[in-house]
Structure 1
Amino acid sequence: MRSDRQLFKYMLSLIEKLKQVKDFRKDKGKRHPLWIVLVVIILGTMLGYSGYRELGEFAKNNRHRLSKEFNIIPERVPSYSTIRRVMMGVDWQSLLKMFNEWALQEYGQRDDINWLGIDGKSLKNTLKNPNNEQQNFIMFISLFSQESGLVLHLKRIENKKGSEIDEGQAIIEDCSLQNKVFTGDALHCQKKTISLIAKTKNDYVITVKGNQKNLYKRIQDLSNSSKPESCFLEQDNSHGRKISRKIEVFKVRKNERKGFENLRRIVKVERKGSRGDKTYEETAYYISSLTESAEVFAKIIRGHWKIENQLHWVKDVIFEEDKSEISDFQAASNWSILTTIGLNLFRGLGFLSITEGQRWLAERWEKLIVLST
């Protein structure tokens, strides 16, 4: 799967989409098409360069290789100032539309796109004062594939002008996927969200907490008074912790759905474990339209949290999104989208580990670029 041919395929479709992004610049004085600047930014980001200056250094230090690939003279390789201007000037909505079309077109039909998590991540680089909870900042809501680590859809909001709940619902409507399983935390345990999942011919496994008090109480009563139809026990002794989980599945009758469309099963997860010298016990509940075994539910529930370490952690630690000097809302939004493109290119080639992908790419990055005019 990690072949030059696959790189060619991905980049060819990406460049065709990048050419559709609206160029905000005037023709006078324009040295290169917008898509070339965007590809340089994506490539530099994939290789570990973050921020205007580092990306400018990447372009400068590799000007002879880049000029050969793009058929331009070395002195006209995109500079620091050009990269900064483009990042601050490109309409993020145009770039986001391009990403969503490209991601679904390129990856939406894969066999390993079945369990899809919805979750939001704030861009801490857009916070002026981390101690002020009332300030405005940018957040991206992602549709993330548990199996492949790919991002299939993005929505962007400002926390004072939008809602993760609303954008999660918009993702379900807009992504045009069917026969998938959507997973989400308790924030997305909303009757409208679940109705949209059912309407689009998909299934769900959603966490239930106190934000749905009546439902939460009914679930507790049902699980305490009924016999589970399926049970699964598992142990996890990795990463310096010991956890035992007991997963039980309970059948829900039609008259017990109470407005939660297609609700068929309740899942109860009891966790007992230790972190260092501390022990803990906790119980979590989930609602689902599926009729799977407890073992399958355990995999889906555990898999939902991959979005934290395979997407959010990667963007913060590997791509240094939170530490970035790019704080302008427009530029930060654009960089987050371009970073997600780079992540998808790695994951599309089968790299679960981005650092492994970076080492692989460093030896052959010229082949990533496909000249397409």
Structure 2
Amino acid sequence: MVSVVDKQGFFLTQELVDNKSNKITAIHQLLDSLNIKGHTLTCDAIGTQKDIVVKIRQKRANYVLALKANQKTLYTDVSSCFADPSFLTTKTLYFKTTQKARGNIEQREYWQSKDLSKLSTQDNWMDLKSIVMTKNTITKPDGTTSSVQSRYFISSLPLDVKEVARVIRGHWLVESAHWHLDVTFGEMLIVLWIGWRRLI
């Protein structure tokens, strides 16, 4: 299922699909049907496709797209950048939030950089302006760390780490709200934010 959901979690429109290739086609169809001009759109890694990026930019919207192994070269280049301590300290903007969540302490860290010099496929991604790493750390009440998760993103947004953090956090909030669909109904959710709306 590929759906458009607003920030309250209401479904605006959706496409029923039966495999990954059809999910990508459905994302194209939904983008064709929506006025996204002036918005920032996010998507899970399945939507991180060169032709989808072109369509987003041609419709005069921005993107913050997740990276995973489906874009192996780009993922490797971006993760290697953020693995370099000197890159983190001299080439990035940093933002952190800390809050209580289900009795634990959840720390979310964000790094954003406009230095794309080490990305071998940079020119393949229309209007790519920045790369992002997030790290979520969950600490139990006794002070032990229960989980640490890092994620990577590409974006057409210029440097504004707080805005990027807001967009990514909004993406996760809706994703979490609809997690039960995966478990209860077996529906695969593909997530796209459009400003304060998002396609999943």
Pair in the same fold by TM > 0.5: yes
Q: Deviations over 1:332-355 (max 9, x none)?
A: xxxxxxxxxxxxxxxxxxxxxxxx
Which runs of structure 2 are paired with 1:124-203 in the superposition (5 Å)? 140-146=1-7, 148-157=8-17, 159=18, 163-203=22-62
8 Å Cα contact 1:153-1:175 kept in structure 2? no
Aligned with 2:111 (options 248, 253, 257)? 248
Q: Which residue of 2 aligns with 1:302?
A: 169
**1:199–1:215 CA distance, 2 compared to 1 (3 A):** same
Structure 2 match to 1:234: 97
- In structure 1, what residue type is equivalent to 2:103? G
Quote the Cα distance in structure 2 between the aligned partners of 1:193 and 1:175.
14
CA root-mean-square deviation: 2.8
1:288 aligns with 2:151: no
Asked if the contact 1:265–1:287 (Cα under 8 Å) also holds between the matched residues in 2, the reply is: yes
- In the comparison of the two structures, how many residue pairs are matched? 178
Kept in 1: contact 2:92–2:112 (CA 8 A): yes
| 8 A Cα contact 1:229 1:249, kept in partner | yes
1:267 matches 2:128? no
Which protein has greater RCO, CA pairs closer than 8 Å, 6+ apart?
Answer: 2
Q: CA deviation at 1:306?
A: 2.6
- Structure 1's 316 and 209: CA in aligned 2 closer, same or farther, altered over 3 A? closer
Distance change (3 Å), C-alpha of 1:198 and 1:274: same
Q: Do the aligned partners of 2:81 and 2:118 also contact (CA within 8 Å) in 1? A: no
- For structure 1, which runs of at least 5 residues remain unmatched after alignment? 1-139, 324-373
**Equivalent runs, 1:97-136 vs 2, <5 Å:** none
* Structure with a larger share of its residues in strand: 2
Q: For the Cα contact (< 8 Å) 2:63–2:156, is it kept in 1?
A: yes
Residue 51 of structure 2 aligns to which amino acid in structure 1? Answer: K
Q: Distance in 1 between matches of 2:49 and 2:155?
A: 13
SS at match of 1:269: strand
Q: 1:253 to 1:173 in 2, by over 3 A?
A: same
TM-score, length-scaled by structure 2? 0.76
Question: How far 1:278 moved relative to its partner?
Answer: 5.9
> What amino acid is the match of 1:250?
S
Following the alignment from structure 1 to structure 2, what is the Cα–Cα distance between the partners of residues 293 and 171? 28
Aligned equivalent of 2:74 = 215
| TM-score normalized with structure 1 length | 0.43
**Aligned-pair distance for 1:292?**
4.4
Quote the sequence identity (%): 23
Contact kept in structure 2, 1:203 and 1:289, CA below 8 Å: yes
1-side partners of 2:46 and 2:59: how far apart? 20
Contact 1:228 1:248 in 2 (8 A): no
Give, in angstroms, the shift of residue 183 of structure 1: 0.8
Letter in 2 for 1:273: I
The letter of the residue matching 1:191 is K
Question: Which structure has greater helix proportion?
Answer: 1
The Cα offsets for residues 2-27 of structure 1, whole Å up to 9 and x where unpaired, read as xxxxxxxxxxxxxxxxxxxxxxxxxx
Conservation of the 8 A alpha-carbon contact between 1:209 and 1:216: yes
Return the alpha-carbon distance in structure 2 between the equivalents of residues 308 and 291 of structure 1: 25
User: What letter matches 1:142 in structure 2?
Assistant: S
Amino acid of the structure 2 residue aligned with 1:272:
T
**Greater C-alpha radius of gyration:** 1
**Corresponding residue SS for 2:70:** coil
SS at match of 1:166: helix
Q: What is the CA–CA distance in structure 2 between the aligned matches of 1:151 and 1:286, rounded to whole Å? A: 25
Q: 2-side partners of 1:294 and 1:310: how far apart?
A: 24
d(CA) in 2 for partners of 1:228 and 1:295? 16
Question: What does residue 204 of structure 1 align with?
Answer: 63
Residues 91, 115 of structure 2: 8 Å contact kept = no
- CA change 1:316–1:261 in 2 (3 A) is closer
Segments of 5+ residues of structure 2 without an aligned counterpart are 187-200
Change (3 A) 1:160 1:152: closer
3-state SS of 2:56 partner = helix
